[in-house]
Structure 1
Amino acid sequence: MNKTVNINLAGIFFHIDEDAYLKLQRYLEAIKRSFTDSQGRAEIIADIEARIAELFSERLQNERQVIGNKEVDEVISIMGQPEDYLVDDEIFEDEPQSAPANKSRASKKLYRDTDNSYIGGVSAGLAHYFGIDVIWIRLTWILLVLGAGTGILLYILLWILVPEAKTTAEKLMMTGEPVNISNIEKKIKDGFDSVSETVSGVAKNVSDSVSGAAKKVDVKKQGNKIKSSSRTFFDTVADVIMFFFKIIAKFIGLILILIGASTLIALIVGWFSLGAIDVIPGTDLVGIVNAGGTPVWLASLLAFLAVGIPFFFLFYLGLRILITNLKSIGKIAKLSLLGLWLFSIIGLTIITIKEVSEHAYNEHYIEKMTLETKANDTLMVSFADNDIFKNPFYRSNDFKVATSEEGKKAIFSKDLRIQVKSTTDSLAFLRIEKSADGRNYEKALDRAKNIEYSYTFNNQELVLDPYFTTPVSNKYCEQEVLITLYLPVGSVVYFAKNTESFLNYRTHSNNIVSSNQVSHYLTVDSDAVICDTCETEEDEENDDIEINIDMPQVKINDKGIEIKTGDNQILKIDENGINGNSENVRVKIDSTGINITSDKETEENKD
């Protein structure tokens, strides 16, 4: 049994096998010895340890996995042995250095280069990534801003989304260089050399301030000063923008948590409620409409996974937004949930196809019964009373599960239709057409045969049941019953008021009785019915109302408005007021008031 050691490498905890730990310890000590006299030794070693920790993290599938010799050997092969590199530059500075055997060109990663930035380092990072001069990237941004105006928004998005290259390893990956001991050392030493050159340049600038060369250095110094000032300004702007984006992100994270949590709670409650499927009223209908026969628990479980897993990740995403240091659930858990989700989607697809296939075919089963009704006989048709439905005489395609007279559960439905046709036969007959769906013709016909429908005929009175039944095992598959009553020409039929909803609202396809003809005695003709008691009502309905309106003559001009009717009544509206004249009365309305006179008053004044 091997011993396990817990180590802290660059701030990350790892479980490592004892043998692997000893190998890693010897490797790190060899690196430290090789950099004993090197400038920036501490920073080089810290970056090397950070890179090793990053490589270990990439190889761990979960937090509890133990690092063994295999993982240590893989990391050492990537980083290289200390003896592969020439640490002391002064010893062999005149001899060319040979590259190590394991050195290879690494793939580039997109980072922001803030060391060479004017604003946020986006342009410099893109220049490194595409391998072109940064000036072309900056010119492109200027054209986008001046042209379409979308350059500013795009730059801000890249500024927010693209991370900054902070560590030495990230700066190496930004330029596409392998992250190994040699390149880490070189990068850090270049940084120290740059600082040294800057200090030397400043000293030279002070000593040669009078000379012309000093002026050139002053120009460079001013350029660096401008770059530094612009960087400070835009860094401040970036901090303000990032502050508001963080607030918005936190709010979005809270919304995602609320949506995900509420949906998951509702799914869990609904899923466990299916365990009480025989207790909750109405839940027994779930199995009735399940024509495919898929177990309810399986369908509900697949539906729970198909809906619940995306909302779980939505909830988890909200937590990651709110809690920045939240630990990951691990690759195994993510892949497992993804696999379950795909499995549930496939399962639901199969169940849906199976259910749809149960309605692929429709078949009919017909029964015929002769009625002792001849010409000149009067047949009374009505529906029997029942307590199964709340509104028994209202046709619908709804159904319910109830106990039949035999004490067994059955499906009750009011999906009935009645139509009437004439026949040249001497006796009337009843045609009952039962139909149902199925995955094939045989299954559909079997379901249609299992429909039970009853009626009674006695003394020219036909009493129909307002519903039909079928066993629960038959499932609900669009079962219907069409009742066609064939009556001899010359016979009389009377439909009771409770049959109105089950008759067609109009006559068509040889159907000679409509729903508005109930409660009337109808004489059957060859292609219609004669309603003697409907004539008065029809006449009243068809009475025409004549309204004669004499339209007045209207004249409008610059003098005013003149309206003249057929009986010589004239109304004038002009600058003198309103004047109305008829055969006997005259009306005048102006600034002096209202004056009304008649012919009778005029004659009296004359006398």
Structure 2
Amino acid sequence: MNKTVNINLAGIFFHIDEDAYLKLQRYLEAIKRSFTDSQGRSEIIADIEARIAELFNERVQNNKQVIRIKEVDEVISIMGQPEDYLVDDEIFEDEPQTTYKRKTAPSKKLFRDTDNSYISGVSSGLGHYFGIDAIWVRLAWIILFSAAGTGILLYILLWILVPEAKTTAEKIMMTGEPVNISNIEKKIKDGFENVTETVSDVAKNVSESVSDAAKNVSSTVSDATKNIDFQKQGNKIKSSSKTFFDTLGEVIMFFFKVFAKFIGILLILIGAFSLIVLIIALFSVGIIDIIHIPGLDLVEIANAGNTPLWLASLLSFFAVGIPFFFLFYLGLKILINNLKSIGNIAKFTLLGLWLISTIGVAIIIIREASEHVYNEKYIEKTELQIKANDTLSIKMVGDTKFSQNFYKYHNFRLANDNDGNKMIYSADVHIIVKSTTDSVASMVIEKSSDGRSYDKSIERAKNINYNYAFSNSNLLLDPYLTTNPENKISDQEIKIILYLPEGSIVKFDKNTKHFLTNHKHNGNIVLSKGAGNFLEIIEDDTKCLDCPAKKEKEKDFKVKVNTPNLKINDEGIEVKSDSNSLKVDDTGLKVKSDVVKVNIDSTGINIESKN
């Protein structure tokens, strides 16, 4: 059983094993001794402790976990020993070496560089991350801002989600350098050098020290080369084969990371574009019933379930937009290693909001679908004083506000009548003609509509307005139906069924063509192609009285020939037998034998004989 100690390291509380604590304490004291005479000693020590606390925090799963010697050793291996930065042990090749472990290059992390920022440091941070000058990133933002403002949302999200490089360790990670004692010391000293008035003196001293160090290294290398151990060189050659496979693995991982970055960029573009489209849709459709945008009233009359449009738009926005937001966030996570988390509270809040919105959208869809469960008909019947041998003329007429060249279309539209009242109208009107043995013609008008119940469906069907007029054997029909917007778009339809006695004559005006059917079904006997002609009603059919007589088609004359001596084709007839032949074509008749030749054509008859 080990004793634990509670420590406060850079403002972060940790539980640490006593042995690990003693080792960490000795390590920090050694670091403090190594910087006794260094400029900015307190700042260096504070940043080193902050970096150690950050590394401990990455290895702790929960706040009750105890830091052990294992974690302390890992942190020390990352930070390095103070003496490692005073003498490079690798130049002493005669010293015993432990197992060779190849150090991988540190990966960059994305931070906002507020020290070199104009607004928030996003551009400067991206410049460090991609290794390019920040001016090119800022130029790219200008282009994105001008492209329909698509870059504004991306810039704001990066501003919110990408953390600021506050500590020295974060500023080092931003440039891709390893966060160890040497780089922390260098970063802080560079900061002091930037504000001191003796920059030139310090630069001179640094230059001289580097020169001396280079001379020392050169002399040391020279001495080492005098005592080359060929066996050791052979071992190095063997170890180089191992590094080849390590390098190959790194190359494969590099291309894998490039592919992953490409996927991340693709997810970001898809997510951002979808969110922008959803925001535009929310502000255009969702506020129709609040500010009454002109021209979009059709959305309201299509809302048969009477669900508030702002509520339906908001629920749809969250139900569709939240998955695309997480898609966008996933792309950022793939692209940026140290992206700031939005937090568990935000994640679970968005998840709950998405579930509520999805359920709400499902309820709205079910409610809307229930408005079309029933389809009932309301029937009106009228007698027309048309008997056998009488002629009935049918024509479409009506207000040009609702009819457009009498062309039949099923789309519902919204318009104002002569009194300025809004009306739903549609040309969903059908004409069907049937023969009857009754002595007098009759007309049945079927009005049909959808509804969530039988009563609602019948009520909406009754509220369909359709006008016609009959006078002096002339039937004038409206090419459209109208209804009050309160009835919504509920698949309203008008079907006119004419029962005409056998022996009567009917003529449909040509403007009725699009309201007649193209097929004979359910007893219908008049097709759209019959519009404009006088049609006599006979039993279950019609007879056209003024249609042009049909010409009988000329039948092709085909002869099947079983002998190769006889040929009959479009050019004529030809018979051949040894030296004798007979040919009949458009030019005339030609006969040829061993004794005589006969040629009959437009010039006359020519006979040649060998006798």
Q: TM-score range by the shorter chain?
A: 0.5 to 0.7
1:175-574 aligned at under 5 Å gives the runs 231-274=242-285, 275=287, 282-389=295-402, 391-534=404-547, 536-537=548-549, 539-540=550-551, 543-550=552-559, 555=564, 564-565=567-568, 569-570=574-575
Partner deviation per Cα, 1:256-301 (whole Å, 9 max, x = no partner): 2222212211211222122357765642111111111111111111
- RMSD across aligned C-alpha pairs, in angstroms? 4.4
Measure how far apart 1:30 and its partner are. Answer: 7.3
Q: Secondary structure at the match of 1:522?
A: strand
Aligned counterparts of 2:357 and 2:525: Cα–Cα separation in 1: 54
Q: Is the 8 A contact 1:385 1:392 kept in 2?
A: no
1:32 CA drift (Å) = 3.0
Match of 1:179 in 2: none
Structure 1: which amino acid aligns with 2:264? G
Normalised TM-score (structure 2): 0.58
1:19-34 alignment runs, 5 A limit: 21=13, 24=14, 31-33=20-22
| CA shift digits 1:140-196 (9 cap, x unpaired) | xxxxxxxxxxxxxxxxxxxxxxxxxxxxxxxxxxxxxxxxxxxxxxxxxxxxxxxxx
Structure 1 residue runs without a partner (length 5+): 1-6, 60-70, 81-114, 121-217, 556-561, 588-595
Measure, in 1, the Cα distance between the counterparts of 2:247 and 2:309: 60
Residue identity in the other structure for 2:360: G
Structure 1 residue 452 displacement after superposition: 0.8
Report which stretch shifted further, 424-433 or 465-474.
424-433
Measure, in 2, the Cα distance between the counterparts of 1:332 and 1:227.
54
Give, as a single letter, the amino acid of the residue that structure 1 aligns with 2:268. Answer: I
Structure 2 residue matching 1:411: 3-state secondary structure? strand
Query: Structure 1's 227 and 441: CA in aligned 2 closer, same or farther, altered over 3 A?
Result: farther
Q: What is the CA distance between 1:254 and its match in structure 2?
A: 1.8
- The alpha carbon displacement at 1:415 in A equals 0.6
Comparing 334-343 with 420-429, which one deviates more in the overlay? Answer: 420-429
Report if the CA contact (8 A) 2:433-2:524 is conserved: yes
Counterpart in the other structure of 2:57: 53
Question: Following the alignment from structure 1 to structure 2, what is the Cα–Cα distance between the partners of residues 261 and 513?
Answer: 57
Q: Measured at CA, do residues 570 and 418 of structure 1 come closer, stay the same or move farther in structure 2, by a change above 3 Å?
A: same
Tell me the SS of whatever aligns to 1:490.
Answer: coil
> In the aligned structure 1, how far is the partner of 2:506 from the partner of 2:599?
69
- The DSSP-based 3-state class of the residue aligned with 1:484 is strand
Distance in 2, Cα, partners of 1:509 & 1:46:
87
Q: Which amino acid aligns with 1:53?
A: N
1:129 — aligned with what? Answer: none
Who is 1:161 aligned against?
none
Mapped to 2, the partners of 1:47 and 1:327 lie a distance apart of 17
Q: Once the two structures are aligned, what percentage of the paired residues are identical?
A: 48
Residue 410 of structure 1: how far off its partner (Å): 1.0
1:544 maps to amino acid: K
Deviation at 1:231, TM superposition (A): 4.0
Q: Which structure 1 residue ranges, 4+ long, deviate > 6 Å from structure 2?
A: 34-38, 45-51, 224-227, 578-581, 596-607
1:410 alignment partner AA: M
Q: Shift of the alpha carbon at 1:343?
A: 1.7
Task: Find the counterpart in structure 2 of residue 75 from structure 1.
Answer: 65
* In 2, Cα distance between equivalents of 1:340 and 1:489: 68
Q: Which runs of 5+ in 2 are unaligned?
A: 1-6, 32-48, 70-98, 105-230, 584-588
Distance 1:373 1:329, change over 3 A: same
Instruction: Give the superposition deviation at 1:598.
Output: 6.5
The 2-side partners of 1:479 and 1:297 are apart by 26
Query: How far is 1:407 from its partner?
Result: 2.1
State the partner residue of 1:99. Answer: none
Q: 1:579 to 1:359 in 2, by over 3 A?
A: farther
> How does 1:60-99 map onto structure 2 within 5 Å?
71=63, 74-76=64-66
**For 2:358, what is the secondary structure of its paired residue?**
helix
1:42-95 residue CA offsets vs partner (Å, 9 max, x unmatched): 9xx999977852465x44xxxxxxxxxxx4xx335x869xxxxxxxxxxxxxxx
- Structure 1 residue 402: deviation in Å? 0.5
SS at match of 2:546: helix
Measure how far apart 1:432 and its partner are: 0.8
TM-score, normalisation: structure 1: 0.59
Q: Determine the C-alpha separation between the residues in 2 that align with 1:604 and 1:458.
A: 84
Alpha-carbon distance in 2 for matches of 1:250, 1:514:
64
Distance 1:406 1:568, change over 3 A: closer
Number of matched residues? 415
Does structure 2 conserve the Cα–Cα contact (< 8 Å) formed by 1:553 and 1:564?
Answer: no
Contact 2:402 2:415 in 1 (8 A): no
Q: What is the Cα deviation at residue 480 of structure 1?
A: 0.7
Q: CA deviation at 1:444?
A: 0.8
Between the aligned partners of 2:431 and 2:540, the Cα distance in structure 1 is 17
Question: Conserved in 2, the CA contact under 8 Å of 1:572 and 1:579?
Answer: yes
Pair 602,407 (structure 1): closer, same or farther in 2 beyond 3 Å: closer
Write the distance in 1 (CA, Å) between the matches of 2:472 and 2:538: 23
- Aligned equivalents of 1:527 and 1:355: distance in 2? 42
Listed one character per residue, the Cα deviations across residues 538-586 of structure 1 (whole Å, up to 9, x for unaligned) are x33xx1312224466674xxxxxx774598735799xxxx998746377
What corresponds to 2:201 in structure 1?
none
User: Are the counterparts in 1 of residues 403 and 480 from structure 2 also a CA contact under 8 Å?
Assistant: no
